[in-house]
Amino acid sequence: MILSRRSSVATIAFSLLLSLPLTACRVRTRDPGATKRLTQAPDFTLTDESELPVKLADLTGSGHAVLVFYRGHFCPWCRSQLSKLNAMFARFKAAGARLAGISADSLAHCAQLRKKLSLRFPLLSDPKLEVIKSYGVAQKDQDVAVPSIFIVSRNGQIVYRYVGESISDRPDPEKVLAAVPPPPKKPPPKLPEPKDEKTEPADEPADEP
């Protein structure tokens, strides 16, 4: 009987231990409804790892911006996600989309991470979480971003969003690429208007003598 009780207690304790990592991985934003209310992307200017200012308009100037909010350089899921997106860089570019990572990391950490992963897109530093908060993806209990992706059109409209429910929750990069709207079709080139050709009156045959 005693062994049975001990066995039951051990089973319950083991189950609780197994559930702890899952519970710890769950994240909540400080303002859960913020991302749903957003239709127009908040404008911003952040500094990239090369200490150059980057505006939202710089990213949407040639099409769409894919904003990748990640927790930080220390997060293995973030590094994996950034690497997968980097492997698809050429395909995003061909679709008219520019990638950019955003986190609360310092400029030094952004530079180290970009070099380590050989990223072809910029990492923007938001140490005060000003942009992260404006997009409604600041984590409730930590000064980091909830893993999220926003696709912003050239006119500043949010056309796609994905906010992770846990620190490991990321969208499939293929689905993110598929969510990029196709570029507008170019109008067909105008054909030159035909010129009016003036016809010369035919010479009348001369009278025979």
SS3 at position 42: coil
CA terminus-to-terminus distance, the chain = 144
Spatial separation of the C-alpha atoms in residues 132 and 104, rounded to whole Å = 8
- Cβ atoms of 45 and 36 closer than 8 Å: no
Q: Which residues pair with 160 in a beta bridge?
A: 151
- Dihedral sign, CA of 174, 180, 181, 185? negative
Spatial separation of the C-alpha atoms in residues 104 and 18, rounded to whole Å = 30
According to DSSP, the β-strands at 97-103 and 64-69 are parallel
Question: Tokens in use for 2?
Answer: 């005693």
Provide the b/e sequence for 95-134 (b: ≥16 CB within 10 Å).
bebbbbbbbbbebebbbebbeebebebbbbbbeebebbbb
Residue 78 annotated in active site: yes
In the set 25, 75, 78, 110, the catalytic residue is: 78
From the centroid of its chain, how far is CA 103? 12
Q: Give the catalytic positions in this structure.
A: 78
